[in-house]
Amino acid sequence: MRQRYLLLIATILAFHLHLPASAQQGKTSPPNMRSGDKTQILTDQEKGTVTIIIDGQSAVMIDKTGLYVVNEIMYGRSLTDTGPDWVKARIEKGADDASKDLVEGGVNEE
């Protein structure tokens, strides 16, 4: 299960790193919504959280303790509990390598 969470977190963080600088400034990112936008990513530097807003409601929050999802998580492959040490090692190695490991067929022990 943590494997999918890692992939989701890596994807969200990769997307967040490509946001405009204005969305990353300040203690809490401003609601940078344009007319018709249905989604938004908020960062709170004081709380250390990233929150995804969909249709005006919080749907996902990530902090250093984990991933919180309001509704369902759907997946097409198996979930593997790799343990926190594996996840920490992959995060330190880089999100691209961690995502690649997951896509190529699961946990690659080195």
CA angle, residues 4, 7, 8, in degrees to nearest 5: 85
Quick check: is 53 in a domain? yes
What's the farthest any 2 CA atoms get from each other in the chain?
48
Both tokens of 94, joined, read: 């880089």
pLDDT in tens, 77-110: 888 889 889 888 888 888 665 556 555 555 554 4
Quick check: is 92 in a domain? yes
- The pLDDT of residue 24: 46
Cα separation, 68 vs 71, whole angstroms: 9
Number of domains in the chain: 1
**Domain limits at 93?**
2-103
Question: Environment class of residue 44 by beta-carbon count within 10 Å: exposed (0-12), middle (13-18) or buried (19+)?
Answer: middle
Quick check: is 88 in a domain? yes
DSSP 104: T
Quick check: is 108 in a domain? no
Higher local confidence (pLDDT), 33 or 25:
33
Quick check: is 65 in a domain? yes
Quick check: is 42 in a domain? yes
CB 31 within 8 A of CB 44: no
Quick check: is 91 in a domain? yes
